[in-house]
Chains A and B, each alone.
Chain A
Amino acid sequence: DGGITQSPKYLFRKEGQNVTLSCEQNLNHDAMYWYRQDPGQGLRLIYYSQIVNDFQKGDIAEGYSVSREKKESFPLTVTSAQKNPTAFYLCASSITPWGELFFGEGSRLTVL
Chain B
Amino acid sequence: EDQVTQSPEALRLQEGESSSLNCSYTVSGLRGLFWYRQDPGKGPEFLFTLYSAGEEKEKERLKATLTKKESFLHITAPKPEDSATYLCAAGPYGSSNTGKLIFGQGTTLQVKP
Contacts and interface: CB of A to CB of B under 8 A. Distances in A.
Interface in B18-69: 31-32, 34, 36, 41-46, 49
Interface in A69-112: 90, 92, 94, 96-106, 108
Given A41-B105, A42-B106, A100-B49, A48 B98 contact: yes
Interface residues of B, number: 28
Contacts of B32: 98
A11 interface: no
Interface residues of A, number: 30
A101 B46 contact: yes
B43 A104 contact: yes
Interface string B83-108: 00001010100011111111111100
Contacts of A48: 98-100
25 contacts: A4-B43, A31-B99, A35-B103, A40-B9, A42-B87, A42-B102, A42-B103, A42-B105, A42-B106, A43-B44, A43-B87, A48-B99, A58-B100, A90-B43, A97-B95, A97-B96, A97-B99, A98-B91, A98-B96, A101-B101, A102-B46, A103-B36, A105-B42, A105-B43, A106-B42
Interface of B: 4, 9, 31-32, 34, 36, 41-46, 49, 87, 89, 91, 95-106
Given A50-B99, A56-B98, A106 B43 contact: yes
Contacts of B46: 100-102
A31 to B, nearest CB: 5
Nearest to B35: A100
Contacts of B100: 45, 48, 58
Contacts of B31: 98
Interface string A30-68: 010101000011111100101000001010000000000
Contacts of A103: 36, 43-45
Nearest to A49: B99
Contacts of A31: 99
A51 to B, nearest CB: 12
